[in-house]
């Protein structure tokens, strides 16, 4: 492989003003690919508007060679098809292209892979070698070792499977400003509704309390919120709870929602459908509260409470007080 191609590019996800925490496990995965490749540099790509804060937060991270920055008003709001057209030409210079397997990454990277005419390695959980990874299949019930022969490896990284890359040092990565390409897109930004909360972000929280269909209503979710506030945790939900309208879909934990691996996961009124379990089974300690002693959630729980959640949660809240 030529020296030009022995480079890795990480696409940074951000809010324009701040770098999201899910980027740092991706940098860990990138560093592992770099180790297998030998002499291999890591660049990061930041596309957005007024992203100086993001640039500053990454400029001193050891291991990053260059910060490629596209800072234009057109990218104040990400439209995946427009962003993909900016990424694909740059990706031709690299052997690996990585980003977090968030909803943003899952929307963006298939478009990039299609433009590059290569396959995608999705939601990887381990790096085996320069061209081989481990990724879950069958809703996480099996792990596949996949070797890619594509000229460019397009990869999304499951953040919960990698340690956070925290090497802040005296590094001073070079900033390279890049002019945007023409905006070839059939989409336009109309509006955005953002759920604001003082609680930790779901994907990065050390404690997650999730409610399921058994909670019964949107009003009853107040018990979940009270428990989360007392434990300093984030709120999650099963797909059944989201579909029933109890909470918004950005709280969904599961195969088609967010993948979490907190220190403590409390499942309240959740039966343990395979789709939900795929999104939280890597949690360090799992506590299940359910009235059905045969519920599948108890098969993976470290601690189980069989009983009425409307009796157990008030008692637990009183004990915490």
Instruction: Supply the DSSP string of 232-290, one letter for each residue.
Output: T-EEEE-HHHHHTTSS-GGGBBSTTSB----SEEEEES----HHHHTTTTT-SEEEEEE
Measured CA to CA, the distance from residue 275 to residue 212 in angstroms comes to 13
CATH 3.40.50.620 in the chain is located at 7-177
Burial of 127 (0-12, 13-18, 19+ CB in 10 A): buried
Phi/psi of residue 100, nearest 5 degrees: -70, 145
CATH of 7-177, one of 3.40.50.720, 3.20.20.20, 3.30.420.40, 3.40.50.620: 3.40.50.620
Could you list the residues known to form a binding site for FAD, using ranges.
213, 238-239, 252-256, 269-276, 290
Supply the pTM of this predicted model: 0.84
| Residue (of 100, 162, 123, 160) closest to 280 by Cα position | 160
Could you list the residues known to form a binding site, using ranges.
213, 238-239, 252-256, 269-276, 290
Q: Give, as one character, the DSSP assignment of residue 138.
A: T
* Residues of the chain with confidence (pLDDT) below 50: 1-4
Superfamily name with CATH number, domain 207-320: TPP-binding domain (3.40.50.1220)
Residue 77, both tokens = 């709001």
Measured CA to CA, the distance from residue 196 to residue 179 in angstroms comes to 33
| Residue (of 182, 264, 268, 190) closest to 222 by Cα position | 268
CATH 3.40.50.1220 in the chain is located at 207-320
Measured CA to CA, the distance from residue 257 to residue 135 in angstroms comes to 17
Measured CA to CA, the distance from residue 304 to residue 289 in angstroms comes to 6
**What per-residue confidence (pLDDT) applies to 2?**
43
pLDDT tens column, 175-200: 999 998 877 677 888 887 766 677 88
Starting from the edge strand earliest in sequence, which strands make up the sheet with 207-211, in order?
234-237, 207-211, 264-268, 285-290, 303-306
Q: How far is CA 291 from CA 225, 281, 295, 303, 315, in A?
A: 20, 20, 8, 14, 15
Residue 240: count of CB within 10 angstroms of its CB: 21
Taking a C-beta distance cutoff of 8 angstroms, is the pair 155, 108 a contact? no
b (16+ CB within 10 A) / e for 247-266 = beeebbbbbbbbbbbbebbb
Measured CA to CA, the distance from residue 63 to residue 275 in angstroms comes to 36
**What per-residue confidence (pLDDT) applies to 38?**
79
**What per-residue confidence (pLDDT) applies to 4?**
44
| Residue (of 269, 271, 221) closest to 245 by Cα position | 221
Helix-, strand-, coil-residue percentages of the chain, each rounded to 5: 30, 25, 40
**What per-residue confidence (pLDDT) applies to 219?**
96
């Amino acid at each position: 492989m030529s020296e030009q191609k022995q480079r890795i590019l990480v696409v940074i996800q951000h809010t324009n003003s701040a770098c999201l925490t899910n980027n740092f496990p991706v940098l860990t995965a990138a560093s592992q690919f770099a180790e297998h490749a030998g002499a291999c540099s890591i660049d990061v790509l930041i596309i957005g508007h007024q992203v100086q804060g993001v640039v500053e937060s990454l400029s001193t991270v050891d291991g990053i060679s260059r910060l490629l920055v596209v800072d234009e008003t057109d990218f104040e709001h990400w439209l995946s098809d427009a962003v993909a057209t900016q990424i694909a030409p740059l990706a031709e210079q690299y052997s690996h292209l990585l980003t977090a397997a968030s909803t943003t990454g899952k929307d963006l990277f298939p478009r990039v892979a299609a433009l590059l005419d290569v396959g995608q390695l999705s939601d990887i959980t381990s790096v085996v070698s320069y061209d081989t990874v481990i990724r879950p299949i069958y809703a996480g019930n099996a792990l596949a070792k996949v070797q890619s022969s594509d000229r460019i490896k397009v990869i999304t990284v499951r953040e919960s499977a990698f340690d956070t890359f925290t090497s802040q040092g005296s590094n001073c990565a070079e900033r390279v400003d890049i002019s945007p390409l023409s905006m070839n897109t059939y989409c336009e930004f109309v509006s955005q509704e953002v759920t604001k909360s003082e609680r930790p972000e779901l994907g990065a929280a050390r404690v997650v309390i999730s409610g399921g269909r058994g909670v019964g209503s949107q009003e009853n979710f107040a018990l979940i919120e009270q428990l989360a506030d007392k434990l300093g945790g984030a709120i999650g939900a099963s797909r059944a709870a989201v579909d029933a309208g109890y909470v918004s879909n950005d709280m969904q934990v599961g195969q088609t929602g967010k993948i979490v691996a907190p220190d403590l996961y409390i499942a309240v009124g959740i039966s343990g459908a395979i789709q939900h379990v795929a999104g939280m089974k890597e949690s360090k300690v799992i506590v299940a509260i359910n009235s059905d002693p045969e519920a599948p959630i108890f098969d993976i729980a470290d601690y189980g409470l069989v009983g009425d959640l409307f009796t157990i949660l008030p008692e637990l809240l009183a004990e915490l007080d």
